[in-house]
A and B are shown apart, each in its own frame.
Chain A
Amino acid sequence: MANLKSRFNLRDFGANLWEGWNRQTRVTFTLVLIGLVALLPFAASWGPTSFLNTPITSFENVLVYPVGMFVLMALGLNIVVGKSGLLDLGYVAFFAIGAYTQAIMSTTLGWNTWEVLPFGIAFAMVAGVMLGLPALRLRGDYLAIITLGFGEIIRIVALNLKITKGPDGIPGIPNPPAILGLDFSLENPSHYFWLVLGMILLVIWMIRRFTIRRPGRAWEAIRQDEDVASLMGVNTLIYKLWSFVIGGAVGGAAGVLYASKTMVISPDMFKFEVSILILGCVVFGGIGNIWGVVVGASILAYLPERIRFISDARQLVFGAVLILMMNLRPDGLLPRKKREKLTKRGSL
């Protein structure tokens, strides 16, 4: 089969540029980049970038959901699918657990988002262990099917329990109280965006830390050859479990935030399609590469909103973009590093 991968590899180009810089340049670049992204909510009202504006939903809201949330979840799923190579088709379950934790605890106990957040994360992590312990003994397709089932179980449980109010869902979830000068009222969607951005940066920091140290090496070894990894002393079950748990924690955090932003949740928000779409973001951007996943999720979340003016043809265009993209760049927009570096080099 013809390989249409271009000779110019943007990923390696970026990596080379980055490696050539000293610490000061790197810090400056990172801060400028974060600053520019933080200014995104104003892009729609500024002349030269006003073409970014989305027709139906306001641009600021689109930046929070779907864009910010998708990036967050795609990064979480990438730990599972990209880092340790476990195909998880039920990732939405963790999102749902986080969202329902927020919905139930805030409406019954009256706790605010910041108080619920640790619980949302913890419950998602526990769910990760409960799913992982039996499921991670299986591999490949079998694991994928179990995770798919898990995603459906959580949704169907939410559909049938009294405490989740079944198909009606839970209304009246309060917005998060103001924190650090950010005011989370519905008139201020950009403040939500900055919050999500902060969480995304935290997750990226975490993944980068893991990647260049022991856990990242263990995951990479498991992804490449699980049997050999265990023969070289990697406790494969524990590390696979950790990747599930950490991925789940990110999903749970995203869920808590999502519930307090939308204020109403119901089981049909947590369908199988969401898992697939997030997996699509990961694959589209480039499995295993943080920047690829961020770019991929941003595009896949933003595009349908941007072309909403063509109404019914929207999904058709979206699908065409996916097919075209996967033909031209089967490894994703920004593929995994060609020379994976799993240890810090040079001076520490």
Chain B
Amino acid sequence: MSEKVLELKQVTIKFGGVTALDSVDFHVNRGEICALIGPNGAGKTTVFNVITGVYPATSGEILFKEKSILGLKKHQVTKTGLARTFQNVRLFGEMTALDNVIVATDVHKRTGLVRALFGTPLNRREERSGSERAHELLKLVGIDHRSDQLAKNLPYGDQRRLEIARALGTEPEVLLLDEPAAGFNPAEKVELADLIKKIRDTGYTILLIEHDMSLIMGISDRVVVLDFGQKIADDLPTIVQNDPRVIEAYLGVPADAS
């Protein structure tokens, strides 16, 4: 049941004298929603960056489906089946919503420049399937009616949804969501939680960074807590919620305890 699809082993990243991640050890099981939480500056986004190949790890090992992905280039990591969204929306603003997703679906296509130039049957098939798949994904996140609009002109909430659709376009096995609910009102957060659950039920594994505790407690199967680059907890949401170290990390130590 709990097959480890993604595993970080003793991952350490140092930027000069700053240790952003200090021997972080955790894993994500296939088919679960795993939340990664922690106070600002705890290293959550750094975890995403090291997994997706943006930063090299100083030491440690990252296994995806039991193979090391450390040292792969960014596009190679994506091709193996890991895709992410961004904390601050980073869409291709001057492209339509549909094209944003199609760019991502191109990862697994075999059409190169020569095939594209001459419009071979393979290229036509791939162009059509990419477009169909993109429409499916836009429907999944609920913004297919906006497919022909430029990404920069979409409302903020739809932009966040488009980011998820674009990441899904690369056909990942593990989806990394970096604060997908940032800037959402409570009603939108509920909708997003439903969407994330729906995506998981479609067969994806999700690693989620989030600040909103009610959202996390509602949807995640497991919670990993980081503080100052170190893992301080890794358990069921209800247990983590009452973990004194987690409370301390978020709220500080009570004055009378010290």
Contacts and interface: CB of A to CB of B under 8 A. Distances in A.
A339 interface: yes
Contacts of B119: 209, 213
Interface of B is mostly: helix
Contacts of B113: 210, 215, 242, 246
Interface string B96-113: 101100111011010111
B188 interface: no
Contacts of A341: 96, 99
B95 A220 contact: yes
Contacts of A218: 103, 106
Interface residues of B, number: 44
A233 B79 contact: yes
Given A230-B73, A231-B52, A231-B74, A209 B116 contact: yes
Contact of B95 (A213, A215, A221, A246): A221
A344 interface: yes
Contacts of B123: 213-214
A130 B39 CA distance: 48
Nearest to B117: A209
B109 A232 contact: no
Contacts of B30: none
B135 to A, nearest CB: 11
Nearest to A237: B73
A232 B99 contact: no
A229 interface: yes
Interface in B168-205: 169-170
Contacts of B150: 338-340
Given A340-B96, A348-B128, A231 B103 contact: no
Given A231-B84, A233-B78, A342 B111 contact: no
Interface string A188-223: 000000000000000000100110011101101100
Contacts of B106: 214, 217-218, 233-234
Contact of B92 (A206, A215, A220, A235): A220
A338 B148 CA distance: 12
Given A210-B113, A217-B103, A234-B75, A348 B127 contact: yes
Interface string A135-166: 00000000000000000000000000000000
Nearest to A234: B75
A232 B54 CA distance: 12
Contacts of B112: 214-215
Contacts of B14: none
B115 to A, nearest CB: 9
A344 to B, nearest CB: 7
Contacts, number: 115
A348 B130 CA distance: 13
A236 interface: yes
Contacts of B107: 232-234
B101 to A, nearest CB: 10
B93 A224 contact: yes
A221 B92 contact: yes
Interface residues of A, number: 32
A37 interface: no
A191 to B, nearest CB: 28
A214 B148 CA distance: 18
A210 B103 contact: no
B131 interface: yes
A341 B93 CA distance: 13
B90 interface: yes
Interface in A285-307: none
A343 interface: yes
Contacts of A225: 90, 92
Contacts of B90: 225, 228
Contact of B94 (A209, A214, A220): A220
B95 A235 contact: no
Contact of A348 (B78, B98, B124): B124
A227 B150 CA distance: 20
A232 B166 contact: yes
B96 A230 contact: no
B94 A224 contact: yes
B75, B124, B170, most chain A CB atoms within 10 A: B75
A214 B111 contact: yes
A215 B78 contact: no
Interface string B58-96: 000000000000000111001100011010001111111
Contact of B117 (A210, A232, A233): A210
19 contacts: A206-B117, A214-B111, A217-B103, A224-B95, A228-B92, A230-B74, A230-B78, A231-B54, A232-B75, A232-B170, A233-B75, A233-B83, A236-B75, A338-B150, A339-B150, A340-B94, A340-B95, A342-B99, A348-B128
Sort A-B residue pairs by CB-CB distance and give the 4 closest, nearest first.
Answer: A233-B107, A233-B78, A213-B116, A230-B74
Interface of B: 52, 54, 73-75, 78-79, 83-84, 86, 90-96, 98-99, 102-104, 106-107, 109, 111-113, 116-117, 119, 123-124, 126-128, 130-131, 148, 150, 166-167, 169-170
